[in-house]
Amino acid sequence: MAVLVTGGTGYIGSHTVIQLVEAGNEVVIVDNLSNSNKIVLDRIEDITGVRVTFYEKDLIALKDIEIIFKENKINSVIHFAALKAVGESVAKPLEYYSNNLIGTLNLLQAMKKYQVNKLVFSSSATVYGNPESCPIKESFPLSTTNPYGATKLMIENILKDICQADPSFNVAILRYFNPVGAHPSGRIGEEPNGTPNNLMPYITKVAIGKLRQLNVFGNDYDTHDGTGVRDYIHVLDLSSGHLKALQKLDTLCGLVIYNLGTGVGYSVLDLVKTFSEVSDRDIPYKIVERRTGDIGMCFADPSKAQAELNWHAQYGIKEMCLDSWRWQKNNPNGYEKHSR
């Protein structure tokens, strides 16, 4: 029996696939490669010694997704596939609603048809909107400040309704915070197409000389230095949380929801300073206007995941920066076509 990983050649998906394979799981990946690279499959094989089954398909096409379930014995699904840039979602809301919602509905239709009843859903702390206080608990009120977050919240509500209607369906919703870092081998990391939307890959591209400077969106937030504060979590910690969630679903738990974060908030300038220290590279930056849809502070209370999943973050901010820098330094041009 196999675990189907949607978006499995993406940043978080690829790290999770590695941990799944190393834990002895059979894995099937489906990805449309819109924000990833097929070379990731070679890198996964280099690290694990296993060539993972891969389908270059889009969840928007239901018939294509059904083929995957027909050709493989799928036991559970980890669903990463989605458009995910906050700023872009504000500019292109229709694209985000169409892709993220229709793709997920098609996946759920295929799961129902082929009687697959275990799903780990990649949600986000954006479903908390602009929280009144931190750290954020799973019981906090839910709202959104951008279309990307709205798609995540809508999907959460869809999953809740399905679980209520069908007690045999088991879902773990993982609301994770800000993934950074890379595999310690330096072979797998975050390589977005075009200009990065997330902070760490932008910093690493400035450090390597691909970008001139970092734009810091706002320095007038109610934080210790005026820049936005986030809960940065190492991608390996995040990946291990998905494996723990799969184990939880094996207990036929119904619907469960967990924050995955460190419980510690760092500002943009904190991250810049730490990265400069560990890389010995200057990171020039410029303060610019706030970005539409952003909030001032967001960090997790991860105690529920610690208690119920026996999971906790093991990596600190220096390790996150070191691994991100190693990835970028070893792959200055990202996943080059000739590279293996």
Q: What one-character-per-residue DSSP string does 164-190 give?
A: HH-TT-EEEEEEE-EEE---TTSSS--
Query: What phi-psi label fits residue 49: left (phi over 0), alpha (psi between -120 and 50 degrees) or beta?
Result: left
Please give the structure tokens belonging to residue 165: 């209607």
Beta pairing partners, 126? none
Residue at token pair 């009144």:
132
Residues in the chain: 340
* Residue 101 token pair: 């919602």
How do 170-176 and 53-55 pair as beta strands? Answer: unpaired
Establish whether 96 is a catalytic residue.
Answer: no
Is-contact 40 7, C-beta < 8 A? no
- Please pick, among 148, 258, 266, 335, the residue that the annotation labels catalytic: 148
Q: Quick one: which H or E segment has residue 68?
A: helix 62-71
pLDDT tens digits, one per residue of 256-285: 999 999 999 999 999 999 999 999 999 999
* Residues near 8 by beta carbon (within 8 Å), at least 6 away in sequence: 14, 16, 17, 27, 29, 30, 31, 52, 54, 80
Identify the bridge partners of residue 286 per DSSP, sorted by sequence position. 215
Domains defined for the chain, CATH in brackets: 2-330 (3.40.50.720)
Identify the residue whose tokens are 């018939």.
63
The two tokens of residue 275 are: 């990265």
Q: What's the pLDDT score for residue 280?
A: 96
Instruction: Give this prediction's pTM.
Output: 0.95
Helix (H, G, I), strand (E, B) or coil at 288: strand
Tracing tokens 């399905």 back to the chain, one arrives at: 162
Digitized pLDDT (tens) for each residue of the chain, 340 residues in all: 999 999 999 999 999 999 999 999 999 999 999 989 999 999 999 999 999 999 999 999 999 999 999 999 999 999 999 999 888 899 999 999 999 999 999 999 999 999 999 999 999 999 999 898 999 999 999 999 899 999 999 999 999 999 999 999 999 999 999 999 999 999 999 987 777 878 999 999 999 999 999 999 999 999 999 999 999 999 999 999 999 999 999 999 999 999 999 999 999 999 999 999 999 999 999 999 998 778 899 999 999 999 999 999 999 999 999 999 999 999 999 887 544 4
Cα 39 to Cα 156, 176, 179: the distances in Å are 32, 26, 21
* Exposure letters 98-123 (e unless 16+ CB within 10 A, then b): ebbbebbebbbebbeebebbbbbbbb
